[in-house]
Amino acid sequence: MDVSTLLSLTDRVDSLAAPSGMHPGAWPLAGRLDGWTRARGLVIGDPDTSPLGRARCDRLAARLLRAAPLDRVELFAHWLTWTFALDDTLDRRPLSASATAVCDLYDDLLRALRRGSARPGARPLESTLAELWRATSAGMSAGWRRRFLVHLEEHRACCAEEAVNRRTGVVPTLQRYAALRRGACGPHLFDLVEPVLGVELPGRVLSCPPWTALTEATADMIAWCNDLASFRRERADGDAHDLVAVLAAAHGFSDGQAVHWTLDRIVHRAADVAAAARVLPDALDRLLLPDDDRIAVARVVPVLLDAPRAHLDWLVESGRYDLARPEEARPPRRQLGLQDILAAR
């Protein structure tokens, strides 16, 4: 897949039409993040050629959090780097095909997080997690910390399920895939928006159906755009955990057809984001939130709404994915009928 295929979404989705901005103070973050990543030993192999070394997490953080204090943007970039380092570890053998190995790794990580410190001689993922947790959780409530832990547990469970699928050669069903992908894509990253912005969302908002609809649809847009960027590498690795492969298996599509259907599903999910955003204000009004909670919601919502385009821009500029620049031959786009759209949802 090439860049133009991914960017074709900007012509079809209003919220993706305008390029994302950048934090005005972002320019020094790249060098500082590179030094931090090397110092913590998170990069395996040559930092200049490894997927993590070329990821440019500073750019993604600076696009997502344009109005946050720069030191908090840098903290979020550290979390992105740690999460990608964890994903790269989980994608390599023996962990990529062993649920037991995934759970064992996560046992060590969660113990370090709960203690607030790593064991002597701990692997970089463990020691860095403990460091990040100390810097992030201070000032956050016990409820927020529990929520973060729940989302890490969800990440562990979904990554373990993916490992079983790889070992047994199972391709996830369309019905299972969306929730599995959301869980394996790092749901804890959404929680981090709050400490970065210096706010905390109340439980009443988090359990509100329009809020759930907004966050899940946003997560799906981000995950499925990422699937488009990474599916060629995953296809080469024999990994079926991307929407392109799942659609191809479910409907007998060629890769080109499955790419087009993936684009269509992202467009439909963008409409779900817009619909949730329209009804959210009325739902929040009914909660009779105090002023501090209203301010927290008002600060977090724009980040969520801007996230898919910020992520799309980062996919194009990051060196983490092999996105071909020249236009490649692909099947002509076919017109979708109503039955096609309903069947794909």
Q: State pLDDT tens for residues 61-85.
A: 999 999 999 999 999 999 999 999 9
Q: Interhelix angle for 57-64 vs 29-39, to 10°?
A: 130
**Residue 330 main-chain phi, psi, to 5 deg:** -150, 160
Reduced 3-state DSSP string for 204-237: HHHCCHHHHHHHHHHHHHHHHHHHHHHHHHHHHH
Phi and psi at 2, nearest 5°, equal -110, 175
Average model confidence (pLDDT) across the chain: 92
User: Percent of the chain beyond pLDDT 90?
Assistant: 85
- What is the structure's pLDDT at 247? 97
Question: Which residue has better confidence, 47 or 333?
Answer: 47
Percent of the chain with pLDDT over 70: 93
pLDDT in the model for residue 50? 84
Residue 190: predicted pLDDT: 98
| C-alpha neighbours within 13 Å on the C-beta side of residue 87 | 19
Round to whole Å and give the CA distance between 115 and 110: 8
Q: How confident is the model at residue 104 (pLDDT cuts 50, 70, 90)?
A: very high
- Average pLDDT, integer, range 222-243: 93
How much is the pLDDT for 248? 96
Q: What is the pLDDT of residue 338?
A: 34
CA gap 132, 116 in Å, rounded: 9
Residue 83's identity, in one-letter code, is T
C-beta separation of 223 from 181 below 8 A: yes
For the beta carbon of residue 145, count every other beta carbon within 10 angstroms.
16
Half-sphere exposure of 340 (CA within 13 A, CB side): 12
Which has the closest alpha carbon to 43: 75, 86, 74?
Answer: 86
Cβ atoms 78, 132 nearer than 8 A? yes
Angle separating helix axes 29-39 and 70-90, nearest 10 degrees: 40
Asked if 91 and 97 touch (Cβ cutoff 8 Å), the reply is no
Supply the pLDDT for residue 5: 92
Q: What is the pLDDT of residues 186-208, one digit of tens each?
A: 999 999 999 999 999 999 999 99
Q: Is the pLDDT of residue 341 over 90?
A: no
pLDDT for res 183: 97
Residue 214 sits at the vertex; the CA angle it makes with 193 and 336, to the nearest 5 degrees, is 130
Name which CATH class applies to 3-344: mainly alpha
CB 231 within 8 A of CB 242: yes
Q: Is 203 exposed, middle or buried (0-12, 13-18, 19+ CB in 10 A)?
A: exposed
pLDDT exceeds 60 at position 334: no
Nearest-10 crossing angle of helices 99-115, 124-137: 40
Residue 324's pLDDT is 63
Least confident of 4-8, 215-219, 321-325: 321-325
* Cross-strand pairs, 324: 2
The Cα 59–Cα 311 span in angstroms is 10
- Say what the pLDDT of residue 232 is: 87
335 has a pLDDT exceeding 70: no
User: pLDDT value at position 2?
Assistant: 75
Q: Give the whole-angstrom CA distance, residue 199 versus residue 295.
A: 8
Calculate mean pLDDT across residues 125-143: 96
Q: HSE of 188 in the Cβ direction (CA atoms, 13 Å)?
A: 24
Q: Which of 39-53, 117-131, 158-172, 330-344 has the lowest mean pLDDT?
A: 330-344
Per-residue confidence (pLDDT) for residue 244, from 0 to 100: 97
Residue 339, pLDDT > 80, answer no
pTM surpassing 0.85? Answer: yes
Tokens 């949802």, located at residue: 345
What is the tens place of the pLDDT at every residue in 9-48?
999 999 999 999 999 999 999 999 999 999 999 987 777 7
More confident residue, 46 or 51: 51
**Model pLDDT for residues 254-309, shown as the tens digit of each residue:** 999 999 999 999 999 999 999 999 999 999 999 999 999 999 999 999 999 999 99
Residue range 143-172: average pLDDT? 97
Longest dimension (CA), the chain: 60
Adjacent-strand bridge partners of 2: 324
Give the integer Cα–Cα distance in Å for 164 and 167.
5
